[in-house]
Amino acid sequence: MISFLIPDLNITPFEEGRATRRCVENLLDQDITEILDVVLNVLEKISVSSSADQNKLVSDGNRVLKACEKLVSMLVKPTNTTANVSFTIDTMEGLVFMVGPNATLDKIPRLDTTNSSVDIDLIGITKNNSKRSAAVTFMSFNTMENLLKPDFFNTSNDTIKTMMSTVISATLPKTTNTKLTKPVNFTLKHIREFDPSGSLSCVYWNISEWIVDGCSVLETNSSYTVCSCVHLSTFALIMQTSRPPARDSLLEMLNLVCVIVGLVFFSLALLTFTLCQWSPRVNNVARINICISLLLAHLLFLLTQQFLRLIRRHQVLCAVISGVLHFLFLSGFVWMFIEAVLLFICVKNLSQISFKKREVLSSVFLCVIGYTVALVVVAMSVGLLPEGYGSEHCWIKMDKGFIWSFLGPVCVILALNTILFINIFISLNSTLKNLNVEVSQMKQTKIMIFKTLAQFVVLGCSWILGFFTNDSKVLEILFLILNSQQGTFIFLVYCVLNNEIRQQYRKIIGSLCSGLKQH
């Protein structure tokens, strides 16, 4: 009955006995992997629940390693030629390769697991052994980094250490002379994204810490590293990256104050725009909506940064916030574009000799356009790469080019606006030659163009500056100030520098003062 399990079909009686024994061995092998599975799972649960104590982690890690090595070495069976056993369980992959006296190999095949492989000169080792036999076990642990943490790699620099490979272990069980004839080479797949600014170390586990002695990085590219070691043991690849500079509390204070000042002026500008419909010829819709979008965006950003620690606990909330921020900032830019378009239409109307007041696009229609465009971009981004939202700061993730879902549309709008302004100037120039236009109207249009252009430059530039803040403190501060003072700027240009509104303010302040005097 047992022979039913055996793949060989022509079984002579003599061979049948051998095959049955092999089958029993196979069953034992299965038992061993089952035991391994249980042991590793239980140990991991225990360790995760008591992960605070480093000594405990180290001793648990050593126990797991020792137990696994022992169990896996039980898979080694005497063989005349070559044999191999491999198994995969949730927590590890294991592989045993055995060479006997009658092996006819000119090259030892590479021992492969999913994320790592090893090249070892087993033939040379076999020749050094009197019994002319050798065996190598190779294990790749998927979750061992929870026990043998990369932080146990003590270096002189205070760097952040990240495990870049699975923890692997290679031993030569049931082999008398385990001296290596050639360095052993491991090809390790990076299990995390490699930070090009980081430095890689091939390390081995020595009782209580990761150390480099005898191991070196042979070659590396973005997704694989080959390590070479002169001895066998437990290995890993650790990446060191420099710690981000401590958060500058002075800069944070400056940021907070600037953003709040900006928000106050945004509100004032918005209030002024909605209350004072000072000139029926000027379409305020775009300006009001720029203020609404940016006011909400800056406010949400400020609140998010203040309560970042609370928000970060809920990844979904963080992603939703970054989506909303994406939408709001984009809307601001779309409205800036609409404002330029309106200005363009206005200038075109001027240049018409018989000045027919064309029906300017209705506000409702503008609002639909203004917010739909941004919504479509966000919806497309969510559809294409939902995981792009929710960075450490609950903003768009910078890696994998996802930031272009914001910078792309912004660049397009900045380019379109530049073209529009060039067109506006050309139209204006031709209108100048046309003396039929009222001088006062001409002057007012020019002022309007200048203001819109200034707004475009200031709002657009502050974001372009954001590209380059990576390495310069001065630029970072400049970006911080420019970006937070968008509201202040809008208020200055459209309210303070506007004669009619200034007169309105004077009236209000005057009546306030006289009101105060009477009390």
Which residues contact ligand NAG (rule: CB under 6 A)? Answer: 84, 93, 109, 114-115, 119-121, 142, 154, 156-157, 159, 166, 182-185, 187, 189, 191, 199, 206, 218, 221-224, 226, 228, 240, 242
Name the minimum Å distance from CB 475 to ligand NAG.
24
Name the minimum Å distance from CB 473 to ligand NAG.
20
Name the minimum Å distance from CB 70 to ligand NAG.
16
How far is Cα 419 from Cα 433, in angstroms, rounded to an integer?
Answer: 22
Name the minimum Å distance from CB 489 to ligand NAG.
41
Pick between residue 207 and residue 316 the one whose CB is nearest to ligand NAG: 207
DSSP one-letter code for 3: G
Extract the tokens encoding 35: 């035991």
Pick between residue 156 and residue 249 the one whose CB is nearest to ligand NAG: 156
How far is Cα 467 from Cα 472, in angstroms, rounded to an integer?
Answer: 11
Pick between residue 225 and residue 304 the one whose CB is nearest to ligand NAG: 225
Pick between residue 142 and residue 483 the one whose CB is nearest to ligand NAG: 142
Q: Residue 197, Cβ neighbours under 10 Å: how many?
A: 8
For 267-277, b/e burial (b = at least 16 CB within 10 A) is: ebbbebbeeee
Name the minimum Å distance from CB 59 to ligand NAG.
15
Pick between residue 234 and residue 498 the one whose CB is nearest to ligand NAG: 234
Q: Which residues contact 429 (CB under 8 A, 6 or more apart)?
A: none
Pick between residue 94 and residue 262 the one whose CB is nearest to ligand NAG: 94
Nearest partner of 266 among 295, 287, 289, judged by Cα = 295
Name the minimum Å distance from CB 298 to ligand NAG.
36
Extract the tokens encoding 189: 């797949």
Name the minimum Å distance from CB 191 to ligand NAG.
4
Burial class (CB in 10 A: 0-12, 13-18, 19+), 75: buried
Written in H, E and C, the secondary structure of 160-197 is EEEECCCEEEEECCCCCCCCCCCCEEEEEECCCCCCCC
Name the minimum Å distance from CB 448 to ligand NAG.
55
How far is Cα 469 from Cα 126, in angstroms, rounded to an integer?
Answer: 59
Nearest partner of 490 among 454, 436, 446, judged by Cα = 454
How far is Cα 427 from Cα 433, in angstroms, rounded to an integer?
Answer: 10
Name the minimum Å distance from CB 164 to ligand NAG.
10
Pick between residue 243 and residue 357 the one whose CB is nearest to ligand NAG: 243
Pick between residue 10 and residue 156 the one whose CB is nearest to ligand NAG: 156
Pick between residue 43 and residue 342 the one whose CB is nearest to ligand NAG: 43
Residue keyed to tokens 């909303």: 324
Nearest partner of 451 among 426, 480, 421, 427, judged by Cα = 421
Written in H, E and C, the secondary structure of 98-166 is EECCCCCCCCCCCEECCCEEEECCHHHHHHHCCCCCEEEEEEEECCHHHCCCHHHECCCCCEEEEECCC
Q: Checking DSSP bridges between strand 234-242 and strand 159-163, what pairing results, if any?
A: antiparallel
Pick between residue 131 and residue 182 the one whose CB is nearest to ligand NAG: 182
Name the minimum Å distance from CB 6 to ligand NAG.
13
Pick between residue 21 and residue 281 the one whose CB is nearest to ligand NAG: 21
Name the minimum Å distance from CB 213 to ligand NAG.
7
3-state SS assignment for residue 229: strand
